[in-house]
Amino acid sequence: MATGKSTPAIEILRYDARYRDQSMEVLRKSFFQQEIVCIGSEVNLTPQAQKDLEQLCLDVADGGVSLIARDTDTDTIVGVSFNVLQTPSSPEDGNYFEQFRDTKCTTDSSRALMQYMITMDAKVNLFERFRVDCLLEIMFLATLPSYAGHGIATRLVEESVQLAKQLKCGQVAPTGGDERSGTVVAKQPQLVSALFTSRISQRVGEKVGFTVINQVPHAEFVYRGQTFSDRAGPEHPFSTLVVKHI
C-alpha cells in the first residue's frame, strides 16, 4: 500500500481482461462512492446501479481504448480510465449512452447518471462544432483513495491523449473484439473530450491542457426531488465539458 512517505512505481497499461476484477474494485471503492454525479444520483447508495455501470465499463473496455494504472511492486490496479470512441449518431438510432440507458439500466439511479451524461453531451455537439467524425471520450476516471495524491489520474489522462494521437495517426489500433473480428475499420479520433465533475478532475484537465467548452451547475440536475448539489454539497458546484485537440 502506498504511504505519504513513498511514491509507488506506477505503469499505465491498455486495459486487459486479466485485471477485470481489480479494475471493477477501483470503481467500487472510489468512483461510485466519491464521484459527484454518483452521489447526486444516489449510485453510491444503490448496489444494483453500480452493477449496471460496471457493465457499461466492461462493454466500453471491449472497445480497446481504456487504460489502467498498475502498481508494479504489488501487481495491483490502482487507477482506471474507461474511454470510448464516439461517432455521430442519427436521431432515430440514438447515441451509445442513450441505447445503454434504455436497454441495460435496471435502476432509476443508473438511468439518472446516464441521463446526466446524455444531457451534458447534448448541450454542445462536438462533432459539428469542431467538424470531426470521431472523438475519444474519457468516460470514467478513478484512482483508489489510498493512492490519491500521486498524480495517477493526471497520468491516465495524459496517456489517454497520447493513445488518441496514436490512433489518429494509425500507429496503434483499438485492441477490442471488433478489431480482432476483422469486421470493423479502426476509428481514428481527431479530438479528446471529457466531463469533469469535481475541482479535482477539473484541475487534472487544466494540467493536461484541455479547453473548457461548457460549464453547467450541478443544481441543474435533479434526482428524486433533490438537486445533485443538494446531495454532493457546495465544494464542487459545476461540471465542465472539456476538449483537447490532437
Paired sense of beta strands 191-196 and 135-143, if any: parallel
Contact 17, 24 (CB under 8 A): no
pLDDT of 91: 75
C-alpha cell at 156: 491516465
pLDDT tier at 186, thresholds 50, 70, 90: low
Contact 164, 171 (CB under 8 A): no
Contact 79, 143 (CB under 8 A): yes
pLDDT tier at 90, thresholds 50, 70, 90: confident
Q: Tell me the domain boundaries of the chain.
A: 10-172+183-245
pLDDT tens by residue, 128-160:
999 999 999 999 999 999 999 999 999 999 999
Whole-model pTM over 0.85? yes
Is the CATH number of domain 10-172+183-245 3.40.630.30? yes
Contact 56, 65 (CB under 8 A): no
